[in-house]
């Protein structure tokens, strides 16, 4: 099937069974069109691989100066403490260059690429920034296949060549383990995310590397995989506390501050003191982390720098400029507080 400028608006009209004018109205959003007709035109354009001409795209770019960014639905007992400041830092960086961020909802119907397709075909955005990417992310694959400018906050598949900025999650959990080993801990557990979490796999990798570097064996019972919630962190900590005394961990690394809060709550419920009886380390450094009791030791992500870098890279792509780096990893910073303390004396 021809791609790009080889496909004309006439072919799109023929495939959709409408007039050329109707296709123009849909793609340019210049007249009201029935939703059924509009969907048929967009589907035909996508199937044929239609792309507006370079000249038309250039003219639109001078008018829109808009970058697309999608929000995912957040369950009531979850939060996205990183993505709020990330969006703000993106908006700051974009507006400094005369661009604006267009946010849109990520659909839950199993077609995550659909809003990207519509925004591309109607010319409302000049590029996309992605976040919350996962292994073999279909949005990344779709944008690669359609050669549309985008940069991701996060990775998807090491075999796919696309520009991204990510936090070096493995380095973060290695730092956490090194910190706990330095405090004298030897039985260090991890409360990890499910296997399908790409970010979680990097964080678990760092924990395992840190334990290996310290010459410490990992008891299979010390690796508890669970969902990202306070309740899940609390339950996972309960499982670790139920181990026999000679296998019970004296320190725990968690995949997020939310899970760390659950672990701390479980310790209090068991009559134990976090940071004294069992040390806990989180990941993210959410604003409330320093105000918990005890204040939480955690990994701070360089969110503001990530937001600025993804915008800088995307603007270079849209201007046809080369990227000095296409894969950028930024290290987190260990924030040591009272939730991690010396190994308890027997």
pLDDT at 268 over 90: yes
Q: What is the pLDDT of residue 302?
A: 95
Q: Would you say 118 and 332 are in contact if contact means Cβ atoms under 8 Å apart?
A: no
Q: What is the pLDDT of residue 77?
A: 60
If asked whether residues 176 and 289 sit together in one domain, one would say yes
Residue 183 lies in a domain: yes
Residue 337 lies in a domain: no
pLDDT-based confidence at residue 40 (cuts at 50, 70, 90): confident
Per-residue pLDDT tens for 153-165?
999 988 999 999 9
Domains of the chain: total: 3
If asked whether residues 173 and 290 sit together in one domain, one would say yes
Share of the chain above pLDDT 90, in %: 66
Average pLDDT over residues 245-260: 97
Q: What is the pLDDT of residue 120?
A: 85
If asked whether residues 246 and 310 sit together in one domain, one would say no
Say which residue, 247 or 61, is predicted with more confidence.
247
Beta strand 298-300 with 333-335 is: antiparallel
Average pLDDT over residues 233-252: 97
If asked whether residues 186 and 283 sit together in one domain, one would say yes
Residue 57 lies in a domain: no
Per-residue pLDDT tens for 223-236?
999 999 999 999 99
Q: Looking at residue 97, which CATH number applies to its domain? A: 3.40.50.2300
Question: For the chain, first and last CA: distance in Å?
Answer: 72
pLDDT-based confidence at residue 59 (cuts at 50, 70, 90): very low
Q: What is the pLDDT of residue 5?
A: 45
Spell 39-50 as b/e; 16+ CB within 10 A means b.
Answer: ebbbebbbebeb
Interatomic CA distance for residues 156 and 198, integer angstroms: 7
Per-residue pLDDT tens for 312-332?
999 999 888 899 999 999 999
Residue 340 lies in a domain: no
Residue 75 lies in a domain: yes
Cα–Cα distances (Å) from 170 to 173, 184, 210, in that order, read: 5, 21, 9
Per-residue pLDDT tens for 253-263?
999 999 999 99
Q: What is the pLDDT of residue 29?
A: 65
If asked whether residues 316 and 208 sit together in one domain, one would say no
Length reported for the chain: 346
pLDDT-based confidence at residue 56 (cuts at 50, 70, 90): low
Q: What is the pLDDT of residue 131?
A: 92
If asked whether residues 254 and 311 sit together in one domain, one would say no
Place of tokens 């940069």: 151
Per-residue pLDDT tens for 176-206?
999 999 999 999 999 999 999 999 999 999 9
What is the widest separation between alpha-carbon atoms in the chain? Answer: 82
Instruction: Give the global pTM.
Output: 0.80
DSSP single-letter state for residue 291: G
Cα 287 from chain centroid (whole Å): 19
If asked whether residues 177 and 257 sit together in one domain, one would say yes
Residue 52 lies in a domain: no
- The structure tokens listed for 178 are 């090194």
Assign 3-class secondary structure to 212-231: HHCCCCCCHHHEEECCCCHH
If asked whether residues 288 and 191 sit together in one domain, one would say yes
Per-residue pLDDT tens for 71-88?
876 666 666 678 888 999
If asked whether residues 161 and 173 sit together in one domain, one would say no
Interatomic CA distance for residues 298 and 301, integer angstroms: 10
Closest CA to 134 of 191, 226, 196, 74: 196
Residue 222 lies in a domain: yes
Average pLDDT over residues 208-217: 98
pLDDT at 2 over 50: no
Interatomic CA distance for residues 189 and 172, integer angstroms: 15
If asked whether residues 181 and 252 sit together in one domain, one would say yes
If asked whether residues 173 and 297 sit together in one domain, one would say yes
pLDDT-based confidence at residue 1 (cuts at 50, 70, 90): very low
Say which residue, 66 or 23, is predicted with more confidence.
66
Residue 54 lies in a domain: no
Q: Looking at residue 11, which CATH number applies to its domain? A: 1.10.260.40
Q: What is the pLDDT of residue 6?
A: 63
Range of the domain at 260: 169-301
Tell me the Cα Rg of the chain.
24
If asked whether residues 219 and 293 sit together in one domain, one would say yes
Per-residue pLDDT tens for 85-123?
899 999 999 999 999 999 998 877 778 888 898 888 878
């Amino acid at each position: 099937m021809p791609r790009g400028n080889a496909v004309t608006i006439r072919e799109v009209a023929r495939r959709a069974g409408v007039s050329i004018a109707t296709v123009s109205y849909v793609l340019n959003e210049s007249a009201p069109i029935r939703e059924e007709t509009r969907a048929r035109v967009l589907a035909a354009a996508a199937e044929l691989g239609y792309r507006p001409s370079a000249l038309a795209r250039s003219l639109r770019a001078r008018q829109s100066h808009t970058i697309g960014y999608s929000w995912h639905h957040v369950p009531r007992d979850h939060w996205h403490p990183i993505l709020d400041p990330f969006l703000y830092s993106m908006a700051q960086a974009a507006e400094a260059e005369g661009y604006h961020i267009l946010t849109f909802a990520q659909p839950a119907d199993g077609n995550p690429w659909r809003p990207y397709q519509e925004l591309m075909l109607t010319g409302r955005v000049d590029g996309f920034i992605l976040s919350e990417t996962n292994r073999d992310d279909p949005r990344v694959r779709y944008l690669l296949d359609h050669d549309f400018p985008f940069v991701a906050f996060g990775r998807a598949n090491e075999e796919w060549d696309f520009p991204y900025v990510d936090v070096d999650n493995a380095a973060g959990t290695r730092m956490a383990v090194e910190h706990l080993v330095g405090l004298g801990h030897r039985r260090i557990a991890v409360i990890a995310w499910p296997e399908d979490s790409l970010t979680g796999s990097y964080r678990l990798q760092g924990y395992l590397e840190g334990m290996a570097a310290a010459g410490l064996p990992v008891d299979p019972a010390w690796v508890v995989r669970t969902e990202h919630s306070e309740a899940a962190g609390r339950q996972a900590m309960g499982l670790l506390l139920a181990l026999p005394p000679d296998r019970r961990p004296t320190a725990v690394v968690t995949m997020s501050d939310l899970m760390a809060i659950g672990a701390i709550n479980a310790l209090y419920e068991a009559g134990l003191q976090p940071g004294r009886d069992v040390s806990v380390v989180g990941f993210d450094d959410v604003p409330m982390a320093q105000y918990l009791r005890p204040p939480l030791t955690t990994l701070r992500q360089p969110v503001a720098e990530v937001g600025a870098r993804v915008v800088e890279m995307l603007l270079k792509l849209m201007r046809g400029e080369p990227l000095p780096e296409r894969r950028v990893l930024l290290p987190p910073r260990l924030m040591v507080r009272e939730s991690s303390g010396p190994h308890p004396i027997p």
